[in-house]
A and B are shown apart, each in its own frame.
Chain A
Amino acid sequence: MSHYDFDMPVSETDVRKLRVNDTVTLNRTLYGIRDATLIHMFDRGRTTRFDLHGHAVIHTAPNVRWVGETQAHPSGYEPICIGTTTSARMERFTRPLMEQYGVRIVIGKGGLFAASQSAFSDLGGVYLAIIGGAAALETTWIEQIEEVDLDDLNPESLWKFRVKGFGPLLVAMDSYGGNLYTKVNDAARGKRAAALAALGVKT
C-alpha cells in the first residue's frame, strides 16, 4: 500500500502505478460531472470546451451561490457544499469519457462495474473511492470553482474545481482488474447462507 500525490493532469504511466488499497491525494484541477452532464455529452451530441486529457472527474453536483465573477470566484460561483454522488448510474459513460476525452481518473462512491473495469484495464485508468456523505469535509479541499461549462444543466453543469490536498482517496479499482467492491461483495454473498440460517430461514 503506497500513497501518491498527484498534481493534475497525470499520464498513463502515473495511473498504471496505482494498485487497489493505495491512496492518492490530488492537487490543482478536478472536474465535476454528473448524470445530466454525461447524458448531454454522449447521448445528445454536446461537447465541452474543457480539455479533460489526463484529468480526474468526480461524480458530483455541488451546492453553489452565484456571486458574480470576481478574482476570488472567476466562474461567478462560490462553493457552498461539494460532495460526491453514487457512481453506479454513470457506469456506461466511463469508456467514452476515457476514449473521447482522455480522462484517467474517476472519483465517486459505491463503485463501478465490469464495463468500467475493462476500460480502466484497456486504456489506463483508475477509480478512486471517496467517502460519500462527507461533503462538509470534502468542501474544505476545494479552493475555488475556476470555470463552468454546460451551465444550462445547473447544478449538473461541468465544473472545473481548483483543489488542494484533495484526499487521501482510496484506489478501489485499478488498471489490472483489481476491484475492492467485487472482493467485498463476493465475500458478503458467501455469508448469505449463514445469515439466513441464523434467522431460522428454511432453505
Chain B
Amino acid sequence: MRVDLKQVEEACKELYIRAVKLLPPDIKQGFSRLDKSETDATGKSILATMIRNIKVAEDTNNLLCQDTGIPIYNVVIGTGLDVNGFELKRAIAEGCARATREHPLRSSVVHPVTRTNEHTSCGRLVPVINIDFSDESDTLSIEMIPKGSGSENNSWLKMAIPADGIDAVKTFVVDCVLDAGGKTCPPTIVGVGVGGTADLCVHLSKVAATRPLGSHCADPEGAKLENELSSVVNQLGVGPQGLGGDSTSFAVHVETAATHITMNPVAVNMQCHSARRARATFTPQGVSYGF
C-alpha cells in the first residue's frame, strides 16, 4: 500500500481536534467505576462535575480541557507499506500545525530558552513523533496524544540500585503519588517504567500512562506489579483533585524493559483524568478513526 501523505496530513489535523474533544470509552467507563465506589462526599461531587464536563464537551463540540498539551504522535508502520519516512514526519507536523491554526487551538508550545510561541503547537522536535513497526500487513496506525502539562510537570526518575530490589520501585510509586497530590488533576493513570536505560525507563512510564484502561503489561511480572499497586494507591485518600476521597487513580500501569546488572531504574509519569487520545488507521480501504 502506498501511503498518501496528503491523507496523513489531513488525518493528523483531525486527530488533534478529535483527541481534545472526545474522551475514549475506556476512560468514561473508568469514571463510572470510580463514581460507584467513591465514599467521600467531596470526591463524589468532583467526579460528578468531571462526568458532566465530558457531556458538555460533546454537546457543545468543545474541548474537554483548555490545555492542548504537548502533541505526541505514535506511528506504527505495518508490512508492505510504501512510505517516505522523512516526508511522513513532515506531514504529521503540518497536520498538527493546521489543527492549531485552523480550529483554532491554543498553541501551548514554546522555545525552551526564549519562550517564543510560534502559535503552531510545533517547534524543535515537537510534535513528538515516535515510530515503531508491526507485522500487520498494509496498515499504518497513528495515535495522537495531547499530553497536558499539569500531569507532565509531575514526572520522576530514580536510578535505584539492585540491592534495593522491587521494594524501591513500590516505595517510589507510592511517594510519587503522595508528592503529586492534586497537582496532576487526579484521578490519574499512574504510568510506571521499570528497567531499561534512564531514557527508556522514562519513555516506558509515558507508554504506561497513556495506555487504555483495562489493558495489561505484556510482561507477567509487570502485570503483577500493576495489580498490586493499583489497589494500594487508592487507599492513600488523595482523591479527585487532591481534595480527598478514594478515587486517586483509575489504575497504575507498568511497562518493563531489561536493564543492566548494576541498575534498577524506575520512572513515574502520570496522565490526568482528561486522559485523551485518538487513533487513525490507514488501510487500502481508507482511513478510519477510533481510540
Which A positions have Cβ atoms within 8 angstroms of B? 36, 60-65, 80-86, 88-89, 109-111, 129, 131-137, 139-140, 154-155, 170, 172, 180-181, 183-185, 187-189, 191-192, 194-196, 198-202
Contacts and interface: CB of A to CB of B under 8 A. Distances in A.
Interface in B25-57: 42, 46, 49-50, 52-53, 56-57
Query: What range describes how many residues of B lie at the interface?
Result: 35 or more
B27 to A, nearest CB: 11
A195 B53 contact: no
A131 B31 CA distance: 15
A134 B28 CA distance: 14
B68 A63 contact: yes
B21 to A, nearest CB: 9
Contact of A110 (B46, B68, B117, B241): B241
Contacts of B171: 196, 201
B65 A133 contact: yes
Interface of B: 42, 46, 49-50, 52-53, 56-57, 60, 62-68, 103-108, 115, 117, 148-150, 153, 167, 170-171, 174-175, 178, 181-185, 228-229, 231-233, 235-239, 241-244, 272-274
A195 B235 contact: yes
Contact of A133 (B42, B62, B272): B272
Given A180-B243, A199-B232, A110 B182 contact: yes
Chain A binding surface, main DSSP class:
mixed
B174 A111 contact: no
Contact of B66 (A82, A89, A129, A196): A82
B6 to A, nearest CB: 26
B66 A81 contact: yes
A61 B108 CA distance: 9
Given A61-B106, A63-B63, A133-B50, A187 B237 contact: yes
Given A136-B64, A137-B52, A181-B182, 15 more contacts: A86-B183, A110-B241, A111-B242, A132-B241, A133-B50, A133-B65, A136-B62, A139-B60, A155-B108, A180-B244, A192-B174, A192-B175, A196-B171, A198-B231, A199-B232
A155 B53 contact: no
- Interface centre among A36, A62, A170, A188, by most chain B C-beta atoms within 10 angstroms, is A188
Nearest to A60: B66
A134 B49 contact: yes
17 contacts: A61-B66, A63-B68, A110-B241, A111-B242, A133-B148, A134-B53, A134-B65, A135-B53, A135-B64, A180-B244, A191-B235, A191-B236, A192-B175, A195-B235, A198-B231, A199-B229, A200-B170
B158 to A, nearest CB: 15
A80 B50 contact: no
Nearest to B47: A131
